[in-house]
Amino acid sequence: MQAVDIEGARRDLAHWSQPVIADVISESYVAIMGPDHFSLRVLISMHARLWRLMLLDEREKLGGARKELTDLARLAGLARPVLDQIDQAVLEELLDVVTARFSRSADLVRGYSRLLLRASAVLAEMRFVTA
């Protein structure tokens, strides 16, 4: 993909994946914390925002967003591996959706998969930075 194509694909992926990401994150936090936890909505919102920043490659905002999420999760009684588990669930769901939804276009599957691979690398990098 050319640079222009990458930016367009990045925006498209960030746009259509928002509901998928929100659903996975929401379901994960509810399963872990229960539906009535006082921090639930804020955690879901912050975590979804983190994914949007990551998919749009807004690295200057990403570090601060991850630190805020990690700090809030800690205050809510969640360990960092829980965040990693949720991120893994989001990544797997997005890969499944890309494969199923765009199966007739190898170029789109390849492009979106590359962007998700980059997101995976950023997640790994953030694990070391916020350790």
CA 109 – CA 107 distance, rounded (Å): 6
Q: Which residue has the higher pLDDT, 1 or 83?
A: 83
- pLDDT tens-digit readout, 36-94: 999 999 999 999 999 999 999 998 999 899 999 999 999 999 999 999 999 999 999 99
**58: left (phi > 0), else alpha (psi -120 to 50), else beta?**
beta
Three-class SS state of 95? helix
Provide the pLDDT for residue 7: 87
Provide the pLDDT for residue 131.
54
Residue at 128: amino acid letter:
F
pLDDT of residue 123: 87
Half-sphere exposure of 70 (CA within 13 A, CB side): 16
Pick the more confident residue, 41 or 126.
Answer: 41
Contacts 24+ apart (CB under 8 A), 30-36: 32/78, 32/82, 33/76, 33/78
pLDDT score recorded for residue 130 = 58
Lowest-confidence pick of 19-28, 94-103, 122-131: 122-131
